Chains A and B, each alone.
Chain A
Amino acid sequence: MAKLRVATTSLAGCFGCHMSFLDIDERLFSLVEAVEFDRSPLTDIKRCGPCDIGIVEGGVCNAENVHVLREFRRNCRILVAIGACAINGGVPAMRNNIDLWDCFQEVYQYEGGTEGRVVPNDPELPLPFDKVHPIYEVVKVDYFLPGCPPPADAIWRLLTDLAAGREPRLDYTMLHYD
């Protein structure tokens, strides 16, 4: 059987979902038998090619997030949102009712800010949005796995169900929002 191609990325997230993914422990060995990774922080491949499954952690907080997300949607047959941030903005969306400039001043200029107290303004830096959004407000998402992060068992269940062509089914304890 041909290996499934899987891509993963972290947008406006903390990599906690990826850490939880790695928490499937020794099941990683069976996973690499069945799966080949495309673009992912695990491979360091920079561009996503055609894939069976794309896994997105994190919401959309800047222009680069949108480019990556669209690249994933274009290339992945099944797109999965994992974690609270991808699904409702999560912790980064706490800033949604705070003025963006106030956030910048707090982080870079006030006490404990960066050296020289300047707000970084390099053209290489992606343009931040005034609000953080869940990924399904930008592209169509096929499956959602909530949790902050989702438990490793839930990630494993979702992947094995999808790999087997089954509709994913979570046990009661696998579905939580925190």
Chain B
Amino acid sequence: MSGNAISIDGVAVAFEPGQTIMQAAEAAGVYIPHLCHHPEFAPHGSCKLCTVKVNGRNGASCTVGAQPGMVVENNTAELNDGRRALTQMLFVEGNHFCPFCERSGNCQLQAVAYFLNMTSPHFEHFYPPREVDASHPEVLLDRNRCILCELCVRASREVDGKNVFGIAGRGIQARLVVNSHSGRLGDTGLAATDKAVQVCPVGAIIRKGTAFRVPVGKRLYDQAPISEVGTHVTGQGHGKT
């Protein structure tokens, strides 16, 4: 291997100086499972789904910079077992009832779970009480499905310049909050076309009146896995970005 290249599962992958392992992998078309990473935003490193082995040690590939000659393991049984356990925890920490979720079939959490061949959530369910906010005329916020990836927080602050969302509390108390005097979405300047609405990887932020338009069988992840279809779907499954 010469120059700026790393190896991922034995395949040489070139990188530009300054790129993370995730960015190099994406440019080369190599899929590393992830949820809180989005190519248009700075790394967040919170979901740990993108964990790879870098020269024998675990690291979040969305935050670790690529260095010449790095040996990266990605699609291995051991790493995927760990990723599946993380995904199962995300399911039981929220209330994910896919059969009646507007995002089903276009949801990245669900698609990652399919990719990892997750057949059950394995852990005991928390069934946490979480609030739904339907106060905005065009956007629904269902915290039951929020995975706290902070993409909406980043998008609202950095792209929309509105600072509508935030995460409050720590650990199991962590929750998505809305920055308005009432704490309700209807009292913010959020617009349905905002980036914050489009980036949510799951069914937590939903554009009203757009759900269930695509029949089962034709949705984004119905026929092929997320590793082939891609991840960065705009808001309601209208295509990749």
Cross-chain contact A177 with B110 (CB below 8 angstroms): yes
- With known contacts A88-B91, A177-B99, A177-B110, A81–B120 Cβ distance under 8 A: yes
B145: Cβ under 8 A from any A Cβ: no
Decide yes or no: A90 and B124 within 8 Å by CB, A172-B114, A176-B114 being known contacts.
no
CB distance from A17 to the nearest CB of B (A): 12
| Contact indicator A137/B114 (Cβ below 8 Å) | no
A89 touches B119 (CB 8 A): no
In the complex, how many angstroms separate the beta carbon of A137 from the nearest chain B beta carbon?
6
Cβ 8 A contact of B97, one of A93, A143, A144, A176? A93
Q: Which of B97, B114, B127, B130 has the most CB of A within 10 A?
A: B97
Tell me the dominant secondary structure on chain A's binding face: mixed
- Residue of B100, B105, B121 touching A91 (CB-CB under 8 A): B100
B125 at the interface (CB under 8 A from A): yes
B98 touches which of A81, A84, A133, A136 (Cβ 8 Å):
A84
Partner of B127 from A90, A131, A144 at Cβ < 8 Å: A131
Residue tally, chain A, CB below 8 Å to B: 28
B129: Cβ under 8 A from any A Cβ: yes
A173 engages B223 (CB within 8 Å): yes
Q: Which residues of A contact B224 (CB under 8 A)?
A: 172
* B210 → A minimal CB distance (Å): 17
On whether the beta carbons of B119 and A178 are closer than 8 Å, the reply is no
Chain A residue nearest to B217 (CB atoms) is A173
Interface residues in chain B, defined as those with a beta carbon under 8 Å from any beta carbon in chain A: 91, 95-101, 104-105, 110, 113-114, 117, 119-122, 124-125, 127, 129-130, 216, 222-225
